[in-house]
Amino acid sequence: MKFEAPRGTQDVLPVQQPPWEKLIRTAEELCAAYGYRRITTPVFEDTELFARTSGEGSDVVQKEMYTFTDRGDRSLSLRPEGTASVARAYVEHGLYREPQPVKTFFIGPIYRYAAPQRGKFREFWQLNVEAMGSDDPAIDAELIQLYSELLRRLEIERWWVELNSIGDRNCRPQYLQQLEAWLDEHEHELDEDTRAKRRTSPLRVFDNLAQKPEPVQRVLESAPKIGESLCAECQAHFDAVRRYLDAYGVEYRLTPTLVRGLDYYTRTTFEFMAEALGATLSLAGGGRYDYLIEEIGGPPTPAVGFASGIERLVLSLPGGWAEDPSIDVFFVVEDEEVRPEALAAMAELRRAGRSAETDYAGRSQKGQLTQAGRLRSDAIVIAGRNGATVRRSGQHDVEFPSLAEAVKSL
Ligand code: HAM
């Protein structure tokens, strides 16, 4: 039997790690600079948590969850998104008693059973950033600006922000009535997928608009949009988000059909789109979810956040963005007699925080020098019976009477 990684998953091999490592480091530094602290939650949760928050009618819950029953007969699911988990932790540990907002981030794996394509996986990683406990529109703008700053640091180009507000409990019911009436009138012009979406949640008819057949897209473009029916409070909130984005110099495209695929959103929704892999891809998406925490048993708590797929970011990086790592010192050992001393010297250097490597493949001296070059070693120490040589590229070799002195010179 031949084993392969399960469909829709991937191995990130050591040679592929440098961009991952640098990207994750960049995101961590950025989150720290903006005051977001790491939170770690389990990779699986009660299935009900996701059903309750993402929505029974969402694709994520209906078709994409990895759900299983454990030996104690509990229904658990691998997390298909991170917001519900963070909200659960916020409620469970009473984080609403801390100074608000509570700003968190995590970088971890997410699971969705969907047809794999380029940039679409069944196991993928997300950078998830959340601010819980504030309805201030400046925090919506901060999150959007944070992510644009991340893209700038990653040197990713050709992206844009789509922005919308989808109202709240106040204004949405009235809008939905209008939309339902319009959908009744245009039922025959819709495709089966859109009709099915309507049955689960009418706002969902706008999901993935760009992927729908051209005529359906055109019809839906003329449907009433939530943005035209916002109540005064939602309108003021949205206006302020836009004002702050303008102050930050972050450009955006108003996109009245941007409703997002999860049920919990209110008010601000946004998505970062990019042209990559010959297609238009969502790099990140998010928005407000002012009722979610209340729905899972917490106090009424406005909140906002976003998540970005790490693989999609890696695929969008410019070539050469992350260099292959180099090491500080490679020990070339001429024969077994000097090896113990060389190994001890290597351990000493490593203890001092330097990176060091030697040969474990029985290479000739020439082969060891080649290996040192492959590892992009800064310095090479050639340990011989009668002393040692330190070699650096572009410099004359320096001879030392003993290995200890050679190492001391590094
Ligand atoms: P989402 O739009 O479902 O939102 O996912 C966010 C991002 O995860 C997408 O923009 C994309 O980069 C990445 N992504 C989604 N599905 C896949 C996949 N199958 N393969 C690779 N990457 C994928 C959420 O998950 C929300 N929890 C975001 C949020 C946080 N809203 C508020 N706070």
Residues ≥6 apart with Cβ < 8 Å to 83: 53, 128, 130, 262, 264, 289, 292, 305, 307
Q: Can you tell me the distance from the alpha carbon of 114 to that of 123, in angstroms, rounded to the nearest whole number?
A: 10
CA distances from 369 to 345, 356, 378, 388 (A): 18, 14, 12, 14
**What pLDDT does residue 252 have?**
98
Distance 311 CA to ligand 1 centre (A): 11
Amino acid 278: pLDDT: 79
Which residue type is seen at 96? Y
Look at residue 120 in the predicted model and tell me its pLDDT: 95
In angstroms, the Cα distances linking 253 to 46, 134, 160, 359 are: 37, 25, 7, 56
Q: What is the pLDDT of residue 262?
A: 86
For the segment 20-43, what is each residue's pLDDT rounded down to a tens digit? 999 999 999 999 999 999 999 999
pLDDT of residue 228: 87
Give the pLDDT confidence score for residue 208 in this predicted structure.
82
Between 142-151, 202-211, 263-272, the lowest mean confidence (pLDDT) is in 202-211
| Centre of ligand 1 from the C-alpha of residue 15, in Å | 26
Nearest of 312, 157, 163 to residue 251 by alpha carbon: 163
Residues, the chain: 410
The contacts of residue 183 (CB under 8 Å, 6+ apart) are 190, 198, 202, 205, 223
Which amino acid residue places its CA nearest to atom 11 of ligand 1?
309
Ligand 1 center from residue 310 Cα (angstroms): 10
Q: Which atom of ligand 1 is nearest to the CA of 130?
A: 33
Q: Which residue has the tokens 């050679």?
A: 406
Contacts of 243 (CB under 8 A, 6+ apart): none
pLDDT class for 204, splitting at 50, 70, 90?
Answer: confident
Mean local confidence (pLDDT), 345-362: 97
Q: Are 125 and 253 in contact (CB under 8 A)?
A: no
The torsion of the CA quartet 7, 12, 15, 17, rounded to 10 degrees, works out to: 150
3-state secondary structure of 152: helix
- Whether 307 is in the pocket of ligand 1, judged by its Cβ within 6 Å, is yes
Helix ranges restricted to H, 201-271: 214-221, 232-248
Q: Is the pLDDT of residue 46 over 90?
A: yes
Higher-pLDDT residue of 325, 304:
304
The widest CA-to-CA distance across the chain, in whole angstroms, is: 93
DSSP H or E segment with residue 321: none
| Pairing assessment for the beta strands 377-384 and 327-333 based on DSSP bridges | parallel
Beta bridge partners of 277: none
Rounded Cα distance between 135 and 101, Å, is: 9
CB of 131 shorter than 6 A to ligand 1: no
pLDDT at 374 over 90: yes
Model confidence at 346: pLDDT above 90: yes
Closest among 267, 268, 284 to 276, alpha carbons compared: 284
Mean pLDDT is lowest, of 47-56, 79-88, 90-99, for 47-56
CB–CB of 225/175 below 8 Å? no
Q: Residue 55 pLDDT > 90, yes or no? A: no
Distance 75 CA to ligand 1 centre (A): 23
In one-letter notation, the amino acid at residue 276 is A
d(CA 108, CA 376): 31
82 lines ligand 1 (CB under 6 A): yes
Ligand 1 contact via 283 beta carbon (within 6 Å) = yes
Taking a C-beta distance cutoff of 8 angstroms, is the pair 245, 141 a contact? yes
- Does ligand 1 come within 6 angstroms of the Cβ of 112? yes
Most ligand 1 atoms within 8 A of CB, residue of 49, 62, 81, 104 to mutate: 81
Distance from Cα 247 to the centre of ligand 1, integer Å? 27
CB distance 265 to ligand 1 below 6 Å: no
Query: In testing the pocket of ligand 1, which one of 262, 301, 304 has its CB within 8 Å of the most ligand atoms?
Result: 262
Select from 172, 165, 166, 42 the least CA-distant residue to 111: 42
Whether the per-residue pLDDT at 394 is higher than 80: the answer is yes
Separation of alpha carbons 362 and 338, rounded Å: 14
Residue 59 has what pLDDT?
85
Output the CA 81–ligand 1 centroid distance in Å: 7
Instruction: Specify the pLDDT at position 209.
Output: 86
- DSSP 8-state code for residue 16: G
Residue 258, both tokens: 């941007």
Look at residue 245 in the predicted model and tell me its pLDDT: 98
Q: Whose CA is nearest to atom 31 of ligand 1?
A: 286
Measured distance CA(42)–CA(161) in Å, rounded: 31
What mean pLDDT comes out for the span 61-66?
92
Q: Is 124 in the pocket of ligand 1 (CB under 6 A)?
A: yes
Ligand 1 midpoint to CA 10 (Å):
18
What does the alpha-carbon distance between residue 66 and residue 84 come to, in Å, rounded to a whole number? Answer: 16
Q: How far apart are alpha carbons 298 and 140 in whole angstroms?
A: 21
Q: Is the CB of 198 under 6 A from ligand 1?
A: no
Contact at 8 Å (CB) between 342 and 317? no
380 three-state secondary structure = strand
User: Residue 292: which of 109, 76, 131, 79 has the closest Cα?
Assistant: 131
Q: What percent of the chain has pLDDT over 70?
A: 100
Atom index in ligand 1 nearest the CA of residue 305 equals 33
What is the tens place of the pLDDT at every residue in 225-277? 998 899 999 999 999 999 999 999 999 999 999 988 888 999 999 999 998 77
**Protein residue closest via CA to atom 25 of ligand 1:** 81
Output the pLDDT for position 65. Answer: 97
The average confidence (pLDDT) of the chain is 95
pLDDT mean over 288-296? 97
Predicted confidence band of residue 177 (pLDDT cuts 50, 70, 90): very high
Average pLDDT on 277-303 reads 95
pTM given for the model = 0.95
